[in-house]
Amino acid sequence: TAPGPIMVTARSPPVPPMHMQKWLRPLTAALSPASLRSIHATRRDLEGPSSLGPILMHVAQPQLQDQSATWMGFPGPTGGEWPIAIQAALFALGLLLLLGRCWRRYPPQSVTLACMASRWGPGTAGPLRSDLRLNGTSPDTPLHRKSKAQKQKARGKEGFESYYEAIYGTEWPALRASLLTPHPKVVRLSCFAPASAAEQLQAALHESGAQPVAEVLGVGLTPFWDSVLRHCHVLPAGAGGALPRPEATGAYYQMDLASVVCAHLLGVQPGELVLDMCAAPGGKALVLAERLAVPAPDPGTDQSPLEMHADSFLVLNELSGPRRRQLNNVLGTYLPEDSRGFVDVTGCDASKYHKLYDPQEFQGCDKVLADVPCSSERHVLQKPDHLEQWTPSRPAELHKRQTKILLSALACVKVGGFVLYSTCSLAPTENDDVVERVLGMRAVSPVLSSELRMPGVEGVEGVPLPPLGQQTKYGWMVRPDLHGGYGPMYMALLRREA
C-alpha cells in the first residue's frame, strides 16, 4: 500500500539554510521512507531545533511523495537503481552526522560529571573533585575544554617560564639569568688568513688584553683540543672596538666557543666529502673548510698558509635566501679564491636533501653536520616580540622537522660515516628526544663513551671528549650557567651502521 501523508507536529520543523539543503538532498535521496520516519521520530528525543531530524525531514519531503521508492532499491538520478554499497555508505554518513551533532551538544565528560553529581550531590564531583580543580575545571565544565584565560596563560612570557621551569626546576632562575647575559666574545683566528694579517691581529689582541681560551677555561687540554683552541681568544668586555673589522682583513671570525667545539667534534679529515645541511651564517662552515685543507707548499706572507686537499669537497646547504646570501658573503671574505672551487652552496630543503642523490650511484658523504633550526631560547628571551609569540607547541613542532632533517642526514652519509646533530636549544624535546626517536627508526649508534674517538686517517689522533660541557643520555650539552656563559649547544654524534 502507498504510504500515508507525513504527520507534522505542532511545532513546525525548522527550515535549513540553503547551503545545508545542497548537501542534505543527496543524502536524503538515498534514505527510504521508513528510515526518514525513524529520523523524524528521533527528533522528539533530541528535543531541539538544532537536531538533524527535522532538517532531514524538510529536505526529504519531496522524496516521500515518490511511491516507487523502496528500501533495498529505488530509482537513481538516471532512472536506474543505486548500488547497495552506495546506499549503505550514505546511510552511515547520515548516522555519523547525527551522532556528531549529539556529541557536540552532550560531550561524554559532561554526561559523566552529571552522573557523578547525581550520586554525590549537586555541585560536587565526588572523589575527582581535587583532580578537576587541578585542571582548572569544574563539574559543569567539560574536561577537554580550556578557558580563554587558560589558553592565554600557556602562551607568551608566562607560558615560556612555566614550560622551562617544569624541565629545570630550581636550576631555571640561574639558567635564565645566564641566557639574558651576553655570552663572552670569542675571536677565532682564521687559518686561511695570510701570515701578515695574522700577525697584525695578534698584536691587536695583545693590546686589547684578550686571553687565550685555554687560560680562561683553566683546564688541561688534550693535544687535539689544544691545537684547536689555541686559535681562540676571549675579548674583555668593551674591547671589540680595538680590533679591525673582520670583513676588512678576513683574519678572524667572532663566534660562540660552543660552536667552535661543535664543528671540530665531527672530526673532519682532509680528502673527505662533507655536507653541512643548515650552513648559515657560516662560522661552522669555515671550521669544516679548514679541516679539509692541508698546508700549502712555501706560501708567501700575503698568501694563505692552507690549500684544499685535492680530494676534499664541502657542500653547504641553506634553504633561506637571505641567509644563503650571508653565507656566500662569509665564504667570499674568508676563503681563498683558489679554494672556493672545492665548495658548493645549495638552497634545498634539508629534510628532503637525500632525495637529490641516487643511492645506486652515490655511496654517501663521509661526514654530515645537521645544525638544525631550533627554539633558541637565548634569542627568544632577548627579543620581547618573539617571547610574546611563544607557544608550548613550538618545541613539539620543531621536533618533527628536526627528526626529518636528521633522518635525511643519515640517508646522505655512507655506511660507517658520522652525522653530528646539533641545536642551540635547551628543550630535551629537541635534543635527546629527537636522537632517541631516530635510534628506533634507523640502524645507527650514538658515540657516547668516555673513550670517544673518531676513526680518521691512520696516524692522525682521534677526537676526544670536549673540554667544555657535560654528557647527556645520547650526546653532549654546553649550558651557559654551568660553562662560563657559552652556549647553549647540544651535540650528538651518530654513526650509521647499515
pLDDT tens readout for residues 458-489: 333 456 778 889 989 999 999 999 999 999 99
Catalytic residues: 424
pTM more than 0.85: no
Taking the domains of the chain in order of start, what are their residue ranges? 156-183+256-496
Q: Which of 21-30, 59-68, 371-380, 408-417 has the lowest mean pLDDT?
A: 59-68
Give the pLDDT of residue 37. Answer: 52
Give the pLDDT of residue 245. Answer: 84
Q: What residues form DSSP beta bridges with 306?
A: 295
Give the pLDDT of residue 360. Answer: 80
Confidence at 134, pLDDT banded by 50, 70, 90? very low
C-alpha distances (whole Å) from 313 to each of 261, 285, 336, 364, 422 are: 21, 12, 15, 13, 22
Judge whether 280 is annotated as a binding position. yes
273/66: higher pLDDT: 273
pLDDT(106) > 80: no
Give the pLDDT of residue 390. Answer: 94
pLDDT(423) > 90: yes
Confidence at 153, pLDDT banded by 50, 70, 90? low
Joined grid coordinates for residue 27:
543524502
For the segment 149-165, the average pLDDT, to the nearest whole number, is 80
Find, among 426, 437, 442, 425, the residue nearest to 474 by Cα.
Answer: 437
Judge whether 282 is annotated as a binding position. yes
Judge whether 115 is annotated as a binding position. no
Confidence at 8, pLDDT banded by 50, 70, 90? very low
- Spatial CB neighbours of 218, under 8 Å, sequence gap ≥ 6: none
CA 347, 351, 357 angle in degrees (round to 5)?
A: 70
pLDDT(435) > 90: yes
Helices 33-46, 52-64: crossing angle, 10 deg rounding = 160
Which range, 152-166, 239-253, 280-294, is most confident? 280-294
Confidence at 123, pLDDT banded by 50, 70, 90? very low
CA distance 417 to 366: 5
C-alpha distances (whole Å) from 403 to each of 279, 365, 429 are: 17, 19, 11
**Residue whose entry in the numeric block shows the C-alpha cell 658515540:** 447
The overall average pLDDT reported for the chain is 78
Judge whether 81 is annotated as a binding position. no
Judge whether 349 is annotated as a binding position. yes
Using an 8 Å Cβ cutoff, are 348 and 321 in contact? Answer: no
Using an 8 Å Cβ cutoff, are 247 and 272 in contact? Answer: no
CA distance 343 to 69: 75
pLDDT digits (tens, 9 = 90+) for 401-422: 999 999 999 999 999 999 999 9
Domain 156-183+256-496's class? alpha beta
Judge whether 281 is annotated as a binding position. yes
For the segment 370-376, the average pLDDT, to the nearest whole number, is 96
User: 18-35: string of b/e by CB count within 10 Å (b at 16+)?
Assistant: eeeeeebeebbbbbbbeb
Q: Which of 17-26, 36-45, 411-420 has the lowest mean pLDDT?
A: 36-45
Using an 8 Å Cβ cutoff, are 250 and 190 in contact? Answer: yes
Q: Which of 13-17, 65-69, 150-154, 274-278 has the lowest mean pLDDT?
A: 65-69
Using an 8 Å Cβ cutoff, are 253 and 334 in contact? Answer: yes
